[in-house]
Amino acid sequence: MRRAFIAAVLLPALALPAAADDDWHPYANPRFGYTVDIPPGFELRQEPDNGDGASFLSDDNGATLMVFGTHPPDGDFETDVAERIGYEKQDDWRIIFSRITPAWASFSGARDNDIFYARAIALCDGSAAYFRLQYRKSKLTSFDGVISRMAEALRPSEGCQAAPE
């Protein structure tokens, strides 16, 4: 009887992470041809008229998320990523990680009490898709799973094959 009681209490608690997974919602950008999953709690803040992307805000923890597409000059994905890392440095971010390949790139930085993580993928027409998530250092470990899922979910839309690695 005691085991049945414990199981009845624990089973709903074990199901909570799965329910939270259902709260993710896709964001698709038809102009650039990419999709990414938006985490629970992030609400659309702005979507520019030109269709480049969108910005989201989490009221729970003050985190911000930008997703956007771009046309790198001459379709040079790796140079575009390197330039964006340079812009972050100009804004006083200390880059703590970067990896750039022909197909994807990831980089992150720290400044004061904040951290950002950015992920980019090359798209089939020479364009690129990015997301940039900024949050408080105190929330570092709570965003590990969010970043992993978003990095995996950032992908070209149907009909566009990812650039070879």
Beta bridge partners of 29: 34
pLDDT at 57: 96
pLDDT at 61: 85
pLDDT at 125: 85
pLDDT at 47: 83
pLDDT at 5: 35
Rounded average pLDDT over 84-101: 98
> Per-residue pLDDT for 115 more than 50?
yes
Q: What percent of the chain has pLDDT over 90?
A: 68
Of residues 165 and 139, more confidently modeled: 139
Report the predicted TM-score, pTM, of the whole model to 2 decimal places: 0.83
Q: pLDDT (tens digit, 9 = 90+) per residue, 1-47?
A: 444 333 433 333 333 343 355 789 999 999 999 999 999 999 999 88
Rounded average pLDDT over 155-161: 78
> Per-residue pLDDT for 100 more than 90?
yes
